[in-house]
Structure 1
């Protein structure tokens, strides 16, 4: 059953036959219900499904972040922030041949925006965590000394993401990300981005692969 929201000439909410009506960004939208197909799925379709599963698995733990960090880029495209993150990463970060598709983390992104990003990033495992340094590029147009930097770490060992929101500012040029003892020295993927103090504007994310220490191999 569907409900007319603005009388007989308005939009509707619910199912009518083979379509569903709903609200999205204050707009009345309808979409068709998926149709069952009895045809064997092609290899291209199977590859697309595998790629989607890989990206969804990686982005799902980051949903709260990407809803904010892709918001500005998504508005002009009339897309949701999460769907834009999904589309970009599926297009750029999937490598290999089906059924051996994998994620190229160097092409994976968790933030999309015009703010100048991290440059000259170095990492090193230290006693209490991961030390990260970067260049103070606050003299670039639109960059601010007080832009805040957020980092995320993906651990291969634990198949888990760890978050460090607003860890430092652009001008401080370094910080140490404190992690659990069993994370120290392991192989991780690091992503970082800048955000203005009010959160209106973000930078593209920067990626670094952090290798494991010898005693962790």
Structure 2
């Protein structure tokens, strides 16, 4: 029997259902064990597994982004697990047993740094997604040197393309190249900022669109 000492994503030791927890070098982690055919499947178990599966599918392609965006929450847990906790609590939608991630409410970065102003994305240039925003570096705690963290998520391919250092607040834009095989797929875009000393902002969902 597993024990949960600090909530569902922290301090889990052993096995709860098909969720296995442990600790490595003082960092709590979780993983999901594939269900066997003979495993009892109550309605509650199925719903929880489906929520976990949807969250994992969304977060796994975005690990590099999460490692920066949630690093300040990686205390006795990984940044990935911190993001899992956030998405499960605040960005799951659907009717049981069909749960999905609500992309518009999904935070891929979380912090106190001021976020983006007037974000927009353009999908009209073949093979590229254009990001734009308004410089707000004159605001409190926002600096010209804050780097834009840009992400394009492709759920059809279960992949993402990100750029973490390509531009700053004052640049007010960046064109991010995407693979040619993304043409025709519905893409979702996000932006956040990270400061030189490691502070991060909440991410902002921008929009969805299709590139040619």
2:102 to 70, 88, 104: 104
- Cross-structure match for 1:67: 67
Structure 1 vs Structure 2 CA RMSD: 2.8
- Cross-structure match for 1:204: 202
- Cross-structure match for 2:3: none
Q: Measure, in 2, the Cα distance between the counterparts of 1:62 and 1:125.
A: 20
- Cross-structure match for 1:5: none
- Cross-structure match for 2:159: 160
Gaps of 5+ in 2: 1-13, 15-20
Gaps of 5+ in 1: 1-14
How much does 1:44 deviate?
1.8
1:125 and 1:184 in contact (8 A); partners too: no
Q: Measure, in 2, the Cα distance between the counterparts of 1:22 and 1:184.
A: 42
How much does 1:206 deviate?
0.8
Give the number of the structure whose alpha-carbon radius of gyration is greater: 1
- Cross-structure match for 1:150: 149
Secondary structure at the aligned position of 2:98 is classed as coil
- Cross-structure match for 1:9: none
Question: Using a 3 Å threshold, how does the CA distance of structure 1 residues 71 and 22 change in structure 2: closer, same or farther?
Answer: closer
Q: Measure, in 2, the Cα distance between the counterparts of 1:94 and 1:140.
A: 33
Q: Which deviates more, 155-164 or 81-90?
A: 155-164
Q: Measure, in 2, the Cα distance between the counterparts of 1:87 and 1:181.
A: 33
Q: Measure, in 2, the Cα distance between the counterparts of 1:207 and 1:132.
A: 12
Q: Which structure is richer in relative contact order (CA contacts within 8 A, separation 6 or more)?
A: 2
* CA offsets 1:180-206 (integer angstroms, 9 cap, x no match): 3443564210011100124x1111111
Length-normalised TM-score, structure 1: 0.74
1:66 and 1:110 in contact (8 A); partners too: yes
- Aligned 1:175-214 pairs, distance under 5 A: 175-183=174-182, 186-198=185-197, 200-212=198-210
1:130 and 1:184 in contact (8 A); partners too: no
Length-normalised TM-score, structure 2: 0.76
How much does 1:91 deviate?
1.3
Secondary structure at the aligned position of 1:168 is classed as coil
How much does 1:158 deviate?
2.8
- Aligned 1:131-142 pairs, distance under 5 A: 131-142=130-141
- Cross-structure match for 2:6: none
